[in-house]
C-alpha cells in the first residue's frame, strides 16, 4: 500500500483563483505523483515543498502527538474552500480489509485491483473554518472515514530543524515511548511484560534499602526511623511507613526510558541520526497492516554532507528491498542529496509547480537517465539544479561552450 498521488485545489500557494462551488469537478491546481519507494522533493525556498508535506499531514495525521489542524492561511489567497485528495494503490488483502466500505476497484487485464481515495474538503466563512470530516470513497463527496480506519493511514513525520535529543528523552507521551509501544516487542503486552517484573524486583530492593542495612549503608534505614519517630509523637502511637514506587503500566515504564548513544557529549548531528534510526523502527513494524509512509523535512538538517550521503544511500536501498512496503517522501534544498538519488525518485519543485523526473513524465531516453545519473556528482548537481550560472574559464568552457555551439 502506498500513496500514489496527491491532488490539491486552492491549498496554500497551489490555487488558480477560481473559487468554484463545484471544486472537485474542475482540474486540480496541482497533482503530485509518487513512486512506491523513495521520493525526494527538491527545490529552493518557497517552492511549495512544505505545503505538500503539510497537505499529507492534514489529511492523514501522524503517529506522533503533534497537533495538526486546518488554519485560515491554508486557503489560497481569498478562496473560501480548499480540497485535498490522496489516492492509495497496491493494497494487500490484509491492508484492504481495513477499508472495505470505501474501496474502489480498477480492472487491469483479468484482475480487479483495489484502490483507496481519501478526501479533505474544507470551507470557511470569514475567519472561521467550518466543521469538516475526513472522507473516502469513489464519488466526489465520499463517506466519513471512521477513526479506526484512519489509524491505519497515519504517517511517520520528522519535522525540519528537529530537536532530536529531546524527542528521545523521558517524558509523558515521548516520541520514543510511542514508537516502542507500537513495536511487537511491547504491543499488547501491558500486564505480563518482562519490564513489569523488573520494576517489581526494583520495588522490593527499594523497600529493603529503607528497612534494612544494605552493603554497609544504613542511612536509608535511619531516615525511615527518624520519620517514624516524628509520626509517633504526632499520632501518640507507633506508625510505620513504606517507601515504594507506584505500580506502573508498561506505557508509563516506556515513558521514563531514555535512548542515547554510549558516547557522551555528542552533537545535534549524531542525535539526529539516532532519531532517524528510531523512526525507521516504526516504519518497519512486522505487526502492522497499515500505511508505512515516512515524511522527512530537510533530511540534511544538522547533518554533515558525508552523513547526508550515507543516510540517503541507505534510505534508497531500504525502499528498494524485495517486499519492502516502506514509502518515504523527503524534502531537501541540498544538491548533494539530489546527486545521490536516482532521477526517477526526484521531484523538482519550482514556482509553485512540480516536475517529476520519472520515465513517464520526461522526454528523456533510457540512455539519458544512465548518463545523467553518472554525470550528476556533487559538483555537477549544483549546476543541474541551478536557476542561474556564472561561467568562468576552465571546465565551463569545455562543458558548456561545445554544447552551445551545437545548438547554434
Question: What CA–CA distance (Å, rounded) separates 76 from 133?
Answer: 20
Question: What CA–CA distance (Å, rounded) separates 142 from 118?
Answer: 8
- From 137-141, 353-357, 380-384, the region with the lowest mean pLDDT: 380-384
Q: Select the CATH number that applies to the domain covering 2-170+269-361 from these four: 1.10.10.10, 3.40.50.300, 3.40.630.30, 3.20.20.80.
A: 3.40.50.300
Q: What is the mean pLDDT of the chain?
A: 88
Position 382 confidence tier, pLDDT thresholds 50, 70, 90: confident
Quote the pLDDT of residue 115: 95
CA distances from 326 to 94, 235, 272, 320, 322 (A): 16, 64, 20, 9, 11
Residue 264 has pLDDT above 70, yes or no: no
**Residue 275 and residue 168 in contact, taking contact as beta carbons nearer than 8 Å:** yes
Residues 271-300: tens digit of each pLDDT = 889 999 999 998 998 888 999 999 999 988
Please list the residue range(s) of the chain that carry CATH number 3.40.50.300. Answer: 2-170+269-361
- From 98-102, 341-345, 362-366, 384-388, the region with the lowest mean pLDDT: 384-388
Residues 187-226: tens digit of each pLDDT = 888 878 999 999 889 988 988 899 887 777 889 999 999 9
Quote the pLDDT of residue 20: 67
The pTM of this model reads 0.87
**Mean pLDDT on 31-60:** 94
Quote the pLDDT of residue 356: 94
Amino acid at each position: 500500500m502506498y500513496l500514489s498521488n496527491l491532488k490539491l485545489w486552492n491549498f496554500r500557494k497551489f490555487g488558480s483563483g477560481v473559487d468554484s462551488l463545484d471544486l472537485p469537478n474542475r482540474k486540480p491546481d496541482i497533482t503530485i505523483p509518487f513512486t512506491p519507494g523513495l521520493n525526494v522533493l527538491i527545490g529552493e525556498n518557497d517552492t511549495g515543498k512544505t505545503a505538500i508535506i503539510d497537505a499529507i499531514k492534514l489529511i492523514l495525521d501522524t503517529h506522533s502527538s503533534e497537533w495538526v489542524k486546518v488554519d485560515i492561511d491554508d486557503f489560497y489567497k481569498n478562496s473560501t474552500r480548499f480540497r485535498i485528495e490522496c489516492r492509495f494503490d497496491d493494497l494487500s488483502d490484509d491492508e484492504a480489509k481495513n477499508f472495505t466500505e470505501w474501496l474502489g476497484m480498477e480492472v487491469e487485464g483479468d484482475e480487479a485491483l483495489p484502490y483507496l481515495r481519501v478526501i479533505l474538503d474544507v470551507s470557511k466563512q470569514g475567519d472561521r473554518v467550518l466543521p469538516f470530516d475526513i472522507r473516502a470513497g469513489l464519488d466526489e463527496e465520499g463517506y466519513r472515514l471512521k477513526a479506526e480506519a484512519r489509524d491505519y493511514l497515519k504517517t511517520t513525520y520528522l519535522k525540519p530543524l528537529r530537536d532530536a535529543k529531546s524527542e528521545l528523552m523521558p517524558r509523558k507521551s515521548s516520541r520514543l515511548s510511542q514508537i516502542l509501544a507500537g513495536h511487537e516487542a511491547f504491543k499488547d503486552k501491558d500486564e505480563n511484560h518482562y519490564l513489569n517484573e523488573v520494576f517489581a524486583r526494583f520495588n522490593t530492593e527499594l523497600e529493603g534499602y529503607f528497612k534494612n542495612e544494605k552493603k554497609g549503608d544504613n542511612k536509608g534505614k535511619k531516615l525511615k526511623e527518624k520519620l517514624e519517630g516524628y509520626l509517633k509523637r504526632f499520632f501518640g502511637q507507633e506508625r510505620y511507613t513504606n517507601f515504594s514506587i507506584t505500580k506502573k503500566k508498561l506505557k508509563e515504564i516506556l515513558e521514563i526510558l531514555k535512548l542515547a548513544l554510549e558516547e557522551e557529549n555528542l552533537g545535534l548531528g549524531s542525535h539526529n541520526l539516532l532519531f532517524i534510526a528510531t523512526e525507521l523502527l516504526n516504519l518497519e513494524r512486522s505487526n502492522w497492516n497499515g500505511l508505512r509512509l515516512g515524511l522527512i523535512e530537510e533530511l540534511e538538517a544538522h547533518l554533515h554532507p558525508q552523513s547526508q550521503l550515507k543516510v540517503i544511500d541507505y534510505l534508497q536501498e531500504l525502499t528498494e528491498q524485495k517486499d519492502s512496503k516502506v514509502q518515504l517522501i523527503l524534502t531537501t534544498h541540498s544538491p548533494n542529496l539530489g546527486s545521490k538519488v536516482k532521477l526517477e525518485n526526484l521531484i523538482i519543485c519550482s514556482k509553485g509547480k512540480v516536475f517529476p523526473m520519472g520515465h513517464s513524465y520526461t522526454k528523456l531516453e533510457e540512455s539519458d537517465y544512465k548518463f545523467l545519473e553518472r554525470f550528476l556528482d556533487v559538483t555537477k548537481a549544483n549546476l543541474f539544479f541551478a536557476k542561474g550560472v556564472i561561467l568562468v574559464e576552465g571546465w565551463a568552457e569545455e562543458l558548456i561552450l561545445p554544447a552551445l555551439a551545437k545548438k547554434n
